Structure formats: C-alpha cells, structure tokens
A and B are shown apart, each in its own frame.
Chain A
Amino acid sequence: MEKGNFILNLYPSTKFMLPLFVTISIFFVPGYLYAYLMLPLCILIAFFAGKAKELVNLVVKGLLVLVLFIFIIQSVIAPGEEIFWSWGIISIKQEGVMRSLSLTSKIIAIASAFLLFFRITPVKDISQALERIGMSPKFSYAIIATFQFIPEISNRSKVIMEAQKSRGVETEGNLLTRAKAFIPVLGPLVLSSITSTEERAIALETRAFSAIGKKTSLNELTKRRIDYIIQVAMVILLTILLIGRIWLWN
C-alpha cells in the first residue's frame, strides 16, 4: 500500500462510506443532475488518491457502451406522447429521454462509486477488516485466494487450449466449432483444480493455517481518529438528507 496518501490510508469501512452514501443519497435527492455529479466527484477523489486515470479508463470501457445502449433503447422504444424528433418510424420521445436520464444517472453514480472503492481498497484490506468484525479466516481466505487465482486460471486455460489444439481439437472457426471445444478446455481446468485443491489444503496446514489463537498480520491496518470523524459525518449527512426528503414530501 502506498504510504502517505490520505485517501489510500483510510480504513476500509471508511472508504466504504462512499459507495454507501452515493447509493442511498441518489434516491433521496430528486432529479438526475445530482446523480450525474457523483461521477466527477468520484473522479476528483480518485485524482487525490492517484487513481484518476485507472477510474476514467474503467468508466469509459465498462460503462459508456451500457449507458448509450440504455439511452437508445429507452428513448426510441419506450412509448410516449411528447415527440422531440422523428425520422421515419423512429421517434425520440420526451418520456423516454427523461427515463433514461434518470436510469443512467443512477447506474453511473453507483457503478463509479463501487469501482472507485475497489480501486482504492486492496482485497486483503477488505478481508482483514471483515475478519476483525468476526468473519471466519477460512471465509476471508476464500475471498482473497479467488481474486488471486483469476489470472492464474486464465494462464492455465491458455495452456490447456494449446494442449487440446495439439491433439486435434479445433478451437478456431465458427460458433459451433468453438462451442464444441468448450468441454475439452473446461474439463482439464476443473478436474485439475479439484485434484489440486486437496494438496493446497494440506499445503496450507504446513503453514499452520488452522492454528487456534490470535493471528497477527504484516498488513498494517489501523483505524485512526479521522476514520471515526468521517464515518460519523457521513452518517449525519445521510440523516439530514433523509429528514430533508421527508420534510419536502409533506
């Protein structure tokens, strides 16, 4: 973990206040403008954490297509009276546009807040924080190991693909050919993972995995005063929003 960065050094539960706050508040504050503002807010936070580029990349790659797709579908297909613009049978209606603005603003707000959270919080920190509030070490092992195994699995499937091609399994070509290659590639991946699981479990025991008693951790994770301040402040802010919302309803 990078030292000395204020945001990165916050405790995981403090960092989690961001997606929590965003997700709840966008349903309290009416209109789409507030929800859309969450994206620049996240990018701003990411900037101070030194992760702005990564976040923008993820948003552009992951969200843009989805947002555009929703926009087109909602504005063109959804029924409505007020027609903005039409060309032949295609017409854009006001209701559709409003609906898609509201929908996409929420998706963007929630997704960017969560993306940011996972960018600034290492999985090992999350699991360690969860372990402190009582989660079983076995469960947290499973979480972290899964994240770490993903690149490993992708490497192995490449090797398996090569091995199967070498014995005559055609993996290039049309959809049907590719579908047929699915089992010979997935089979060894799953089977060898199962057989190695037992060995992994035993190997963990050589490192005293099931030792009873308190464990220590090299990962320095401390909850400081600023963490409590931020968490309390966020809860107060949410409460104000909630009261304001009920107030305005009446």
Chain B
Amino acid sequence: MELIRVNNLDYMYPINDGEKALKNVSLSIREGKLYAVIGKNGTGKTTLCNVLRGFIPHFHKGSLEGEVVVEGKDIRHWTMSELAKNIGFIFQNPFTQISGVKDTVFGEIAYGLENLGVEVPEIKKRVKQVIQLLNIEELADKNPYELSGGQKQRVAFAAVIVMDPDILVIDEPTSQLDPKGTRDIFDMIKWMKEQGKTIILVEHKLELIAEHADYLFVMNDGRIITEGNVEDVLSNPALIDYEAGLPQYARLGIELNKRSSDFGQIPIHRSQAEAEIKKWLGIHVNQGGSGS
C-alpha cells in the first residue's frame, strides 16, 4: 500500500538566496519498507524530511508547490498534532529532543500520550511496554538530562514509538553518537522494521544502510538524482560522482572487478562480500565458516 506520494515538489524557504531547496522531487513510499536518503550535506535531505512530516508548510512557511499526499490526505490539510499520531520524527541532535518538562525517563516517554489525552492507566501500560521492548529498563527512573547522548537518543526513539505511528522519519540519528550508541540505535531501527513500520532514514554511514535499507534515494542539489533498490544503487560507481560515497565492500568489489573480470556481483555488505569472494576464490561456502 502506498503511504506517501510526492509529485513534482518544489520548495523555497522564506529566507532564501533565490534558490529552491527542493526541485521537482517525486517519490512514493510504500508500507513496511525502509527507505534511506543519502547525499552530501545541504542538498535537501532534511528539508525533504520536514515536508514529509508537515513541518513544512505548517511550521516553516515559504513556497511549497506540487503534491504531497500522506495516507490519502494532502499535507496542507493535516494539522501538526494529528500527524504526530501517524508520523514519528527523530532528530539528529539528542539534546533538543528532550521535552524539558519531565524529571524521569518514564515521564518523558509518556509526554506525547499525555498531550493526546490518553487515559492514565493506558499511558502507564504503553510506556511500560515500550520500555521493556526497547530494553531501556535501567533508564526509566533517571532524569533525562543526566543521560549520555546515546541514551538520550534511545529515549527519543521510545518517546516516539510509544505513540505508535505508522511511519517514522529519522534524520541522521547516529551522527553525534559513539559506536555503541550507533549499534543500539540500529538495533531499534531493525526492530521497528520487523514490527512492520515504514521508515524513512537519512544517514551517512553507507555500510549500515547497505545492511538495513530496502530502497534508496540519492539527493544532490535539491533533486533526487537516482533511486532504486539498495543493492543496485550502492554498487553503482557513479555514487562517487554524485559525492555520496560508496560502502567499503562495494569499493572492494569494484576494484576486484577491474583487476579480475571473472569477479561476480559487486557486494554492498559484509556477508555478501564474504560469499562473493569465496565463490570467486572457489571456496565452497559451507566449508568456509566464520573466522571470528
């Protein structure tokens, strides 16, 4: 089922240098898939997220042209708080997402449901459930301000998941986190995908995208310059020209392919690389096994 449909979208911020932030963007988001958006900074990735979540045009004004339909209704006709039930949004900066009015993580996670007027016993039940599912029991009684960046980001996820949105828009969630924090966040993203959520993720770490995403949009200069299944896009050497980079495994595959024409498919993640290299070397996969 198609959840979001964007047609010929143009957008210009109210304060601008005469240039559009989004140019003729069209895309379709279908239920249950993980879409990743990549491309260099300042090319409209975050702006696109803001449109899909309705922050544009409801919070940032400016000129929005074209069609943006979320769950059958034009984005201009949704109110921001109605959309909160349908689309969750997680930001890059863990610090600005803490509400600032709660002294425990439990209360912080409950905040959105309180605003929606959900009855207290129901709130408590749902918050407890999310805390358990996301494995953050040890944080529940802490003050949100006393958490590390990675912990804050996990709480931000929980605070959005508890509202049970169908769609999640996640904007560079790990750029300020250490490897442990990044791992925890991607475990959560994986879990949400298993729950059947539709996810739109902006992220620079291509190795992680290769592992988790289904479909990819590559942006440059306000446009979607290429899109497709993650295997096809991330193995395409042209990504370097688009200044988006390539996963290490794809680079390795491309180099091998150059030097030895009988190398098979360009791999994009580790297990694929392992399998392809073994096949090429003539090692039977079942006898190889894992080295570590």
Contact = CB atoms under 8 A, between A and B. Distances in A.
Question: Do chains A and B directly touch (beta carbons under 8 Å) in the complex?
Answer: yes
Interface string B42-58: 00000000000101000
Contacts of B193: none
A202 B123 contact: no
Given A148-B101, A201-B59, A206-B160, A215 B93 contact: no
Nearest to A155: B145
Interface string B161-175: 001000000000000
A209 B83 CA distance: 12
Contacts of B96: 196, 199-200, 203
Chain B: interface residue count, which band?
Answer: 35 or more
A163 interface: no
Contacts of B88: 206
Given A199-B96, A210-B81, A217 B114 contact: yes
A11 B277 CA distance: 71
Interface string B83-122: 0110011110101110111010011001111111111100
A201 to B, nearest CB: 7
A223 B267 CA distance: 66
Contacts of A196: 93, 95-96
B251 interface: no
A218 B115 CA distance: 11
B55 A215 contact: no
A209 B99 CA distance: 10
Contacts of A201: 59
Given A206-B84, A208-B115, A211-B116, A141 B91 contact: no
A142 to B, nearest CB: 10
B201 to A, nearest CB: 16
A207 B93 contact: no
Interface in A71-122: none
27 contacts: A145-B99, A148-B103, A149-B100, A151-B145, A196-B95, A196-B96, A199-B91, A201-B59, A202-B91, A205-B84, A206-B88, A206-B90, A206-B112, A206-B160, A207-B115, A208-B84, A210-B81, A211-B81, A213-B117, A215-B117, A216-B113, A216-B118, A216-B119, A216-B120, A218-B110, A218-B114, A220-B120
Closest 4 A-B residue pairs measured CB to CB?
A207-B112, A211-B81, A208-B84, A145-B100
